Amino acid sequence: AQSVTQLGSHVSVSEGALVLLRCNYSSSVPPYLFWYVQYPNQGLQLLLKYTSAATLVKGINGFEAEFKKSETSFHLTKPSAHMSDAAEYFCAVSDEAGGFKTIFGAGTRLFVKA
Amino acid sequence: DTEVTQTPKHLVMGMTNKKSLKCEQHMGHRAMYWYKQKAKKPPELMFVYSYEKLSINESVPSRFSPECPNSSLLNLHLHALQPEDSALYLCASGRGRDQPQHFGDGTRLSIL
């Protein structure tokens, strides 16, 4: 069955340090992949998406992700963490069966220390 | 700015009450969604409407009743809910599987 696995339910970094949030997917067809961020008491907001164009995708707020088919990964990175990056991050893949369903990972909570 | 608008932001209701959650989008998206989200969990899909017709129902209890009056509006009617139904209810809209979903800020529902 199709799935998304986010390694690490919690990640803690110091302000100014590299942010790396890991996501692995399973799909029998070329996937459409997304990273969303959720701040407290808000809905999910799109950070970036991969839809089979460039493998290195740039998103908002300085985030980027690289699609690696051989590793079935789509890890999210940011060179320098800011306090405002503290939030919940979800990796997601569109359902390969078609239609409009999206499969979400379990989420990773990012903590940023001053 | 949130392009998907949900009302109310907060709702407290008893187990015998009837209430409705409302969602509106004006982006011309053909699909609209209801999700339930518990604390520290990902959104859990409840219903999907495409072209105003119910296309996915994830075996949601009948005490939740969705309605799509037109392409811009989505309602979720609530009746005889249980305490375990307390959660954040998110509405979203989208164009298709190669495009992201746009989420509202949700309704925080508490069942007494």
Residue B47: closest C-alpha in chain A: A101
A1 or B81: whose pLDDT is higher?
Answer: B81
Select from B99, B71, B85, B72 the least CA-distant residue to B36: B85
Give the integer Cα–Cα distance in Å for A30 and A2. 12
For position A5, what pLDDT does the model report?
97
pLDDT surpassing 60 at residue A14: yes
For residue B48, what are its two tokens? 């999907």
Instruction: Specify the amino acid at residue B89.
Output: Y
Instruction: Specify the amino acid at residue B31.
Output: A
B29-47 confidence digits (pLDDT tens): 999 999 999 999 999 999 9
| Facing A105 at nearest CB: one of B42, B45, B105 | B42
For position B2, what pLDDT does the model report?
61
State whether A34 and B100 contact (CB < 8 Å). yes
pLDDT surpassing 60 at residue B1: no
State whether A100 and B94 contact (CB < 8 Å). yes
For position A35, what pLDDT does the model report?
98
pLDDT surpassing 80 at residue B100: yes
Share the mean pLDDT of chain A: 94
Residue B6: closest C-alpha in chain A: A43
For position B102, what pLDDT does the model report?
96
For position B47, what pLDDT does the model report?
95
Share the mean pLDDT of chain B: 94
Q: How far is B40 from chain A, CA to nearest CA, in Å?
A: 8
For position B49, what pLDDT does the model report?
95
CB proximity A22 to B under 8 Å: no
Q: Which residues of B touch A32 (CB under 8 A)?
A: 97-98
Q: What percent of chain B lies above the pLDDT cut of 70?
A: 98
Give the max Cα distance, chain A: 44
B63-82 confidence digits (pLDDT tens): 999 999 999 999 999 999 99
pLDDT surpassing 90 at residue A99: no
For position B35, what pLDDT does the model report?
97
Work out the end-to-end distance of chain B between its first and last CA atoms, rounded to an integer number of angstroms: 32
Q: Taking residues A23-29, what's their average pLDDT? A: 90
For residue B107, list its beta bridge partners: B89
Give the integer Cα–Cα distance in Å for B66 and B58. 12
pLDDT band at A39, cuts 50/70/90? very high
Q: Using CA atoms of B47, B52, B53, B59 in order, give the dihedral in degrees to the nearest 10.
A: 10
pLDDT band at A30, cuts 50/70/90? confident
| Omega within 30 of 0 (cis) for the link into A30 | no
Strand duo A3-7 + A56-58: pairing = unpaired
Residue B54: closest C-alpha in chain A: A100
Helix (H, G, I), strand (E, B) or coil at B30: coil
State whether B104 and A43 contact (CB < 8 Å). yes
| Facing B43 at nearest CB: one of A44, A45, A94 | A44
State whether B56 and A102 contact (CB < 8 Å). no
| Facing B97 at nearest CB: one of A36, A90, A99 | A99
